[in-house]
Amino acid sequence: MYRNLILTSCGISILTNLAKKFNFKENIYYLSNYTEDEFPKDKIEKFGDFLDNSRKYLLNADKGELCKISAELNALINFYGNHIKNFPKTDYHIILHTDTYLGKSVAEILRELFSKYNISVELLTKRDLKTSSFEEFQIALSELAEDLSERLINYKNSGYRIIFNLTGGFKSINSFLQTMASIYADESIYIFETSNNLLKIPRLPLDIDYSIFKENINIFRMLELGIYNNLLKEKIKNIPEITYLEINEEYSLSPWGELIWKKAKEEIYKNKLVEPILDRIVISKNLKKQFENFSEKEKVQINKNIDKLERCIFNNRQNCETSLGFKEVEGKEAEKYQYEMYCFDGNDSRRLYIKYEDDKYILYEINDHL
């Protein structure tokens, strides 16, 4: 039996609906973009009481009340055909919310409701994921795309069906998620207001032309890894403007570029050993020969860990990712190799061994942990 990973975009319709029920007169939409620090001090206590009342109401609401109050829950209840307490415990839920006081508060109420019935759930947002600043919002979407793409790929590879519940949430975020769903989701679900008519949209066949990514692979790698050099400045115009952002003379992947690059990278990395970005990294003939004999999954992992090494070396070995396991070789083997790093995920004990000569890191071979 398959398991579902369901991403639900969370708005504040719960609050606007309950405001009518509780005769709460404050302008919720006017304050919807405020973070907790920005929220008017004279409103905190009043909203705190309102949020607490909303939480208590939702935690004790029956199926019909939940459908009326929450667009997000209405879609899920109709998707499963059951009360939330009977949702499958094998499914996993991600609730995406804005980086705002009210957005986070609603998401936390939903998390408490899910947890009450032992349903696996986590909250997700990114800093500045709100529409008060277009520039900050674009950056937040790029960070969201990077994080979420990686998660969805991992869940997909673990056998989950990916479902996007886009009934609630804000239009500015959902328009982006609709694009993301066309790439990563098996199905998207919608429901209209308080009706019981659930619209299920399967993923449409989407044929992405990866040629621009293959031809400019190191440009996209630099944008993703935050590696800036003259090559990036010279070649950035070779790729479509829609794939990158330029802010204060610095470049990064745009939200759309992030989405497509993540997908393209999986396709490219399973077939080809990446060429180094940095002059200080060299790939040996021995490693190139070894690479041909690994599975597609292993090839992707090797390339992704080489990316981590590129960023580590570019930053002068400061703040290297712990998952890379980059360290000096100790003992007798230090005469042959100077460094080692992880090259595969999980508990795989094999290492990529590295020689250091003339200020260059030579990625020499993959072998058992010495």
Question: Confidence band (pLDDT; 50, 70, 90) for 204?
Answer: low
Question: Confidence band (pLDDT; 50, 70, 90) for 300?
Answer: very high
Top pLDDT among 93 and 181 is at: 93
**147 token code pair:** 């994080």
**pLDDT tens digits, residue range 224-258?**
999 887 778 888 999 999 899 887 778 889 988 98
DSSP H/E element including 342: strand 339-342
pLDDT of residue 193: 58
Average pLDDT for residues 260-279, to the nearest whole number? 93
Q: Is the confidence at residue 194, as pLDDT, over 60?
A: no
Q: What is the pTM of this model?
A: 0.77
pLDDT of residue 341: 93
Collect all residues with Cβ–Cβ distance below 8 Å to 298 and sequence separation of at least 6.
344
pLDDT of residue 263: 87
Give the separation between CA 99 and CA 342, rounded to whole angstroms. 35
- The pLDDT > 70 percentage for the chain reads 97
pLDDT of residue 195: 61
pLDDT of residue 230: 76
Q: Is the confidence at residue 206, as pLDDT, over 80?
A: no
pLDDT of residue 115: 95
Question: Confidence band (pLDDT; 50, 70, 90) for 274?
Answer: very high
- What is the length of the chain? 370
DSSP 207: -
191 beta partners: 198
**71 token code pair:** 């667009």
